[in-house]
Amino acid sequence: MYLFNNCRNRQHATLYGKGAFYDLGTTGSQAKVAQRLANSLVAREICIVASLDKTTGDITFDWFKFSDELELLDDKRVLCHAYFGKHFDTATLSRNEARQHPVYRQFFNVNGHFKRPPAWQAQ
């Protein structure tokens, strides 16, 4: 299972099409993360994307089964690795509830803030 931090609320399906759930840059630090994912993500791998509602502070966790990764241009014409999959579940929790959840707590550091890596393998 892989975890993806979308605290900036990028609308991936709008940017890249149906089934898109995340993206990473092809250069810089995100490219290193993308390379690790390329070597480990397999079809049907479970991916959870956390998105922050800046109005309420609630966090939505969308569950996908990974299907593909393509290099595509985003809205700023920057080349990105776009990740696609089949959406199969959603949960919305308060930050406090999420921090206590056995799976979702992995998204937060000891101070309750989102972890900095954009994506990582769950423990």
Beta strands in 54-103 (DSSP E): 59-73, 79-93
| 8 pLDDT above the threshold of 90 | no
- The CATH number that domain 2-118 falls under is 3.10.590
- Per residue in 26-50, pLDDT tens? 998 899 898 889 888 999 999 999 9
pLDDT band at 21 (very low <50, low <70, confident <90, very high): very high
Confidence of residue 91 (pLDDT cuts 50, 70, 90): very high
What was the pLDDT predicted at 116? 85
Taking only the tens place, the pLDDT of each residue in 49-66 is: 999 998 898 999 999 999
- In the numeric block, which tokens belong to residue 123? 């423990």
**How much of the chain is helix, strand and coil, in % rounded to 5?**
20, 45, 35
Q: Is 28 left (phi over 0), alpha (psi -120 to 50) or beta?
A: left
